[in-house]
Structure 1
Amino acid sequence: MPIKRNEFRMHQRIVQQTLLMLYFLLSYNGAQGDEKLSKLEEVELEKQLKLLNKPAVKTVKTKYGDIYDCVDFYKQRAFDHPLLKDHNFYPKMKPTLSRIKKNSNSSTVSSSSTIWSKDGGCPFGTVPVKRITKDNLIRQRRMPQPEDVTFDTQFDVSNNNSELKGRYISSQGYKIAIARTPNEPNNRFAGAGMATSVYNPHVKDGQHSGSRLKIQKGSDILQVGWRVDPTLYGDTKTRLFIHFQAGKTHCFNTLCPGFVQVDSEFPLDRSYQNMLSQRGGKTWDATMYIDRDLANGNWWLLMTRSFNQVGFWPQRIFTDLTSFATNVEWGGVAYSPPGVPKPPMGSSFFPIKNSSYDGYCSEITILNEKGKTIKVDETITHTDNPSMYQVFAEPIWHNSEWRYFVLYGGPGESPHV
C-alpha cells in the first residue's frame, strides 16, 4: 500500500499549506477590526473561492434565504481529495446496510422539499452545496480547534469496588454533557443513531452550542447533529452539521474534501427554523444515523425515520475507522472562547427528566459488527461542570411506554430567566 500512504501524506501537506496560507491571509490584529483586505489578499481569497465553489448546474434558494448551488455529482468537492481521484462512485449508488434499512424508501421529497422556495430543489445527478462567500472564509480564521476530549479508564478500588470508572480530559473552551458506551477497546460498532430534540440556545461572541451523535476509534471521529454556530454559519439559526476527523485532518460539512453527497434534495447545513422545540410545548426532533456499509466499509449518513441516504465518508480516507468504531456518545456540547461566559445548552435549562421540557437524545441505538441493532440500556454519563450543565441517562415514560433517554442541558454561565 505504499502509493496510498504517499498520497495520504501529500494530501496532509496540501491541507496544511492551505491552512497556513489562510492563516497569513486572514490573521489581523484584533484592534484593526474592519481593516480592508490588501489587493494581494483579495486575489488569494478569490482563488480560494474558485476552488471551493464548483460550477452550478442550477442555483436554488430555501424559504429561509440560504443559497445553494446544484453541483454535478462528479464535480463536488469530495473528489478533490487525492485518495478519491480514481473513484468509482455514482449518483444512484446504494449502501449494503442492515436488514431494517435495506428497503428504505426515499421520502426526501416529503422531508426536505418543504425547505425549498417555489423554484424547487436540485435535479437528480446534482447535489446541493451551500455557496461559500468571502465572509465565510474570513470568519473561519476564528474557528476553534476541534474538540479534543479523551477518555481514560481507571478502576475505583475504594471499598473493594472494582467497578470501571471514567475520567474525561476536555480541551479548553469546550463543555460537554453526554452519555456514552462503556469504554472497551475491543468494541466493534458498525454505527449508531438517535432522535434528538431540536432547540435554539442563545449564543454570541464566538460561542456555539449543539447536540450530536459521535462515533470514534483512535484519532478518527465522525459526528452528526445540530448546532447554533455564528462563526461557522454566519447566523444564529439551528442547523444540521456533520464533521469528520481523519488523523490531523478535520472538516465541517463539505468545507474540505471527504464527504461524498448522493442525495440531490437534502442539504448538509439545512436550517431547522421550521421545527424548533418549545420548552413545555410542542417538541420537534430530528432522526440521524451513521451506518457502516457492510460491503465496503464506507460510513453512510442516514437522515429521518425513513433512513434517507444522504451520502458517505469513504473508508479509504481513514486510518482507524477503516474498520469498526470502539466508542459512541450522545448529548450536548457547548463552546466559548477564553474570557467569554459559557452559553446555554439544549433547552437552556437543567433537565428535569421530562422529555417535553428537556433537551434529549432518544431512540439511541448502536450497531454491532454485523449491522444488527443493539438495544442501549446502559451508558456512562459525564458533564464537565454540573453547575452549568447536567445529564441523565435512564428510562422515562414517553408516549405511553418506557424508553431509554439521554436528557441533557443547562443555562451555562448565563442563567435563563
Structure 2
Amino acid sequence: MPIKINEYIQVMLMHQRIIRQILLILYLLLNYGGVQGKTTLSKIEELELEEQLKLLNKPSIKTVKSKSGDTYNCVDFYKQPAFDHPLLKNHNFHPEMKPTLARSKQNSSTSASNWSSRIWSEDGGCPFGTVPIKKITKEDLIRQRNMPPPEDHVTSNPKFTMIADVSSQVYMLAIVRIPKNPHNKFGGAGMANSIWNPLVEGQQHSACRLKVQKGSDILQVGWRVDPTLYGDNNTRLFVHFQAGNKHCFNVLCSGFVLVSSETPIDMVFKDVSHHGEGGSWEATMYIDRDQANGNWWFLFEKSYKRIGFWPQQIFTDLRGFADNIEWGGVVYSPPGVPKPPMGSSIFLVGNTADDAYCRRLSVLNAEGATVDVDETTIYVDDPHLYQVSDIPHFRPGKFQHVAFYGGPGESQKLQM
C-alpha cells in the first residue's frame, strides 16, 4: 500500500529532527572534550597561554567581586590593555576625558550609581582612576580558542561561505538597518533595548546589538548570551570592534579605552525580561563619534554615562563617518547544530511585554545632531525561524521608532 504524502512528510521531518539531535549531542561531546582537553596542551602552548595571561591580567590596585560572582581587577587607567596597541603608545588620554558631543553635556558623574549598586558586592567597586577588568583564567583562554570568526568574515570569506552553504548559515540575522548608500554620513546611533536571556548551548550564542560600520571597520554594543566567550549562560553587556582584519570583544585585545570605574563592559544583567510580567527590563546604549578628534564613544543609559571609547587612529574606514547602521538580533550556531532562540525566544506577538525590541532608534548626522530614523529596511535570514518588524512611528512624538525581532530558532526548549 503506497504511503500518503502527508505521512511521508511527517516521517521525513521526524528523521531530520533525530539527525539534528544526534549532531547536537556529538557536537556537545566534542566541544566538552575540547575544553576538558587542557591537560594535553603542549609545552609551547602552555607558555603561550601564560604569556597571554600576563598580558591581559594587568597589575591590580584592588580586586573586587561582583554580585554575579565575577572577579575584577581594578587596573590603573594608564596600565589597561588598550595601551598595548602600537598606535596608542604615545597617547594623551586621561580618566576624566569627555567627548565633544551636544548630548554629552547632559552627562552626570553619578549617572551610573544605580547600576553600581546592582553590580558590586559589599567591597564597593573600583576607585576613581582605575578601571574594572574581569580576571582572565587559563580555562577562559582555552575555551575562547573555539570562538567563531566574526559574521562579516564569514559572509565575505569564500572558505566560510562554502561551509555555510553545506549546513545553512552559521550566523542568522533579524535586523532593521539604514539603506546602504556610500554617501551616508553618520556620527553615531542609539537605542533602548529590552534585555532577555535566550537559551543557548555549547558554542551557540544569541545577542542583541547596535552596529555602526564603514567598510571593514565595525563597532558593536549590546547584550549577549555566549558560553564560549564568558563561560556561563548569563546575559552580559558587550562591546566589539573590528578594524580591518583585527577584531576583539571587550578588552581581550588592545584597542578599547575604558574610562568608567563603575561599569564593567562585560557585566551581568541580573534583571532580564520574562513573558507574562507585563513589562520589560531594558538598557539604553549609544555609539557616538567625538566631533573634536574622531574617537568613537560608548555611552550608557539615558544619562550618557561614559564607559569608554575606540580611538580613531586604530581605524582606517572609521577615521571618518559611518555609512551603515543596524539594530536587532543575531545568533550563531556551528555547522550541523540547530539554530538557537533569538530575543524573547518566540515569534512576534506585537507588544513590548512579550517581544524583544530596540526602540528610540536614532542616529547622529554629520553635524552631530540627533535625528529620527525614518528610512529603514528590514532583513531576516530565515523567516521560518526568526522575525523582524519595523515601526517608524510606534507612538506620536520624536524618537518613537521601534524594531521588534526574535524567534525560537530550531530549539525544542523555549525559555518562558
Q: Same fold (TM over 0.5)?
A: yes
AA in 1 matched with 2:340: P
Aligned to 1:73: 77
Runs of 4+ in 1 over 6 A off after TM superposition: 149-152, 398-402
C-alpha offsets along residues 256-292 of structure 1, whole Å, 9 cap, x if unaligned? 000000111110000001x201123131011000000
C-alpha offsets along residues 109-132 of structure 1, whole Å, 9 cap, x if unaligned? 223332100001100000000011
SS of the residue aligned with 2:193? Answer: strand
SS of the residue aligned with 1:222? Answer: strand
Structure 1 position 39, deviation (Å): 4.0
C-alpha offsets along residues 289-314 of structure 1, whole Å, 9 cap, x if unaligned? 00000100000000011100111000
Contact 1:262 1:309 in 2 (8 A): yes
Aligned to 1:279: 275
Match of 2:229 among 232, 235, 240: 232
- More strand per residue: 1
Structure 1 position 93, deviation (Å): 1.2
Aligned to 2:11: none
AA in 1 matched with 2:105: K
AA in 1 matched with 2:263: F
Structure 1 position 89, deviation (Å): 0.4
Contact 2:286 2:300 in 1 (8 A): yes
Distance of aligned partners of 1:196 and 1:132 in 2 relative to their CA distance in 1, 3 Å threshold: same
SS of the residue aligned with 2:132? Answer: strand
1:225-374 equivalences in 2 (<5 Å): 225-273=222-270, 275-281=271-277, 282-374=279-371
Structure 1 position 399, deviation (Å): 11
Structure 1: distance between partners of 2:137 and 2:58: 13
Structure 2: distance between partners of 1:294 and 1:400: 27
Structure 1: distance between partners of 2:62 and 2:193: 32
C-alpha offsets along residues 20-39 of structure 1, whole Å, 9 cap, x if unaligned? xxxxxxx9995994643344
Distance of aligned partners of 1:49 and 1:401 in 2 relative to their CA distance in 1, 3 Å threshold: closer
Contact 1:260 1:313 in 2 (8 A): yes
Contact 1:355 1:398 in 2 (8 A): no
Deviates more, 1:103-112 or 1:129-138: 103-112
In structure 1, runs of 5+ residues without a counterpart are 1-26, 153-168
Structure 1 position 352, deviation (Å): 1.6
Contact 1:348 1:416 in 2 (8 A): no
Q: Does 1:407 align with 2:404?
A: yes
Contact 2:38 2:142 in 1 (8 A): no
Structure 1 position 151, deviation (Å): 9.8
Aligned to 1:191: 188
AA in 1 matched with 2:351: N
AA in 1 matched with 2:88: L
Structure 1 position 351, deviation (Å): 1.2
1:7-406 equivalences in 2 (<5 Å): 33=37, 35-97=39-101, 99-106=102-109, 107-148=111-152, 172-273=169-270, 275-281=271-277, 282-395=279-392, 403-406=400-403
Structure 2: distance between partners of 1:179 and 1:267: 28
SS of the residue aligned with 1:393? Answer: strand
Structure 1 position 95, deviation (Å): 1.0
Structure 1 position 395, deviation (Å): 4.5
SS of the residue aligned with 1:148? Answer: helix
Structure 1: distance between partners of 2:287 and 2:152: 20
Structure 1 position 401, deviation (Å): 10
- More helix per residue: 2
SS of the residue aligned with 1:111? Answer: helix
C-alpha offsets along residues 33-85 of structure 1, whole Å, 9 cap, x if unaligned? 46433444333321221111000000001111011000000000000000000
Structure 2: distance between partners of 1:50 and 1:34: 18
Structure 1 position 348, deviation (Å): 0.0
AA in 1 matched with 2:294: G
Structure 1 position 88, deviation (Å): 0.3
Structure 1 position 105, deviation (Å): 1.0
Give me the CA root mean square deviation: 2.4
Residues matched between the structures, number: 373
AA in 1 matched with 2:114: S
In structure 2, runs of 5+ residues without a counterpart are 1-30, 157-163
Distance of aligned partners of 1:96 and 1:28 in 2 relative to their CA distance in 1, 3 Å threshold: same
C-alpha offsets along residues 207-230 of structure 1, whole Å, 9 cap, x if unaligned? 000100001000000000001000
Distance of aligned partners of 1:119 and 1:150 in 2 relative to their CA distance in 1, 3 Å threshold: closer
Structure 2: distance between partners of 1:266 and 1:105: 14
Distance of aligned partners of 1:30 and 1:73 in 2 relative to their CA distance in 1, 3 Å threshold: closer
Contact 2:103 2:304 in 1 (8 A): no
Structure 2: distance between partners of 1:267 and 1:34: 28
SS of the residue aligned with 1:403? Answer: coil
Structure 1 position 140, deviation (Å): 1.3
AA in 1 matched with 2:196: Y
Structure 1: distance between partners of 2:371 and 2:280: 26
Structure 2: distance between partners of 1:32 and 1:198: 31
